[in-house]
Amino acid sequence: MTNPNGGDRVRLGLVSPRPLPGAYLRHAHSYLDSRVRDLTATEVPVDGFAATTFTGTATGDFAGWNEELVSPATALGIDAALTWGDLAEHGPALIVTDVDSTFIQDEAIELLARRANKEDEVKAVTDRAMRGELSFEESLTLRVAVLEGLPSTIIDHVAREIRPTPGAERLVELAHDRGARFGLVSGGFTKILDPLAERLSIDQWIANELEINDGVLTGRTIGPVIGRETKAEKVTSWADKYRVPLDRTVCVGDGANDLDMLGISGLGIAFQAKPIVREQADANISFNRLDAVGALFGWA
């Protein structure tokens, strides 16, 4: 990310599962007050966590803002995001999130594997992929193969077990209330994702297709795998469709296969993510509330 220019609107969003320490808020105010005019601090009215935003118009040098604002916040258990320009002033016009362990609390492939008594085997492969040790395509092939021979009816059972992450449904509502679009990109499976996406009026979504033959899973998928590159391509495609500039998109994910889409967005957020993702994302949310994404922009 570059730094704000003079005249840019600037927003510092702060969220935490605990009350925000007064000492840090005073520090942030002091840092920003020397670099923006018309500085305003607003406590965001949210339930179950704490959130505050600082807004103003840039006038000074923001070099070193990450070390001055984000690093001390992280040390205090605060998740911080600095945005500027249209994204800071108007908020995101398109939010796209990963699904497994981000928009939902589960890994769908692990729920399916549990029915085959191979959950531990699949989870080990998932962990390697999320750490970047395997490509997503390689890991998906290995994990789906263990499902061979399971009846396809198992998909409907697993779809009913899916648990949205706390705040996920609220984040969709907040986005739609503000005229923003919401998309889901999943390395999981369409027949599991479709009912959830339809129920929540998600604008766009994509996932992998499991191959079924005579009512039985073959252990293979159909068509191109929805992996790292495809996720970023879909974000770009949806942004074009809705005429949203990429600098007003926000992408959220937890694994290495989300890094490309986080990298092209106006703000890429690592959500309870693996270390490789936390290190490369623009911002982190370290606790289990997805509506904290909206709170970073003052949405309540």
Active site residue 260: no
Task: Tell me the C-alpha distance between 300 and 292, whole Å.
Answer: 9
Residue in 8, 79, 98, 282 annotated catalytic: 98
Helix (H, G, I), strand (E, B) or coil at 297: coil
Contact in structure between 14 and 27 (CB atoms under 8 Å): no
CA distances from 105 to 199, 264, 274, 289 (A): 17, 25, 15, 11
Instruction: Give the integer Cα–Cα distance in Å for 158 and 161.
Output: 5
According to DSSP, residue 164 is labeled B
Quick check: is 156 catalytic?
no
CA-wise closest residue to 66 among 287, 293, 286, 284? 284
Q: Out of 8, 100, 203, 258, which one is annotated catalytic?
A: 100
The C-alpha atoms of residue 248 and residue 30 are separated, in whole angstroms, by: 28
Q: Could you list the active site residues?
A: 98, 100
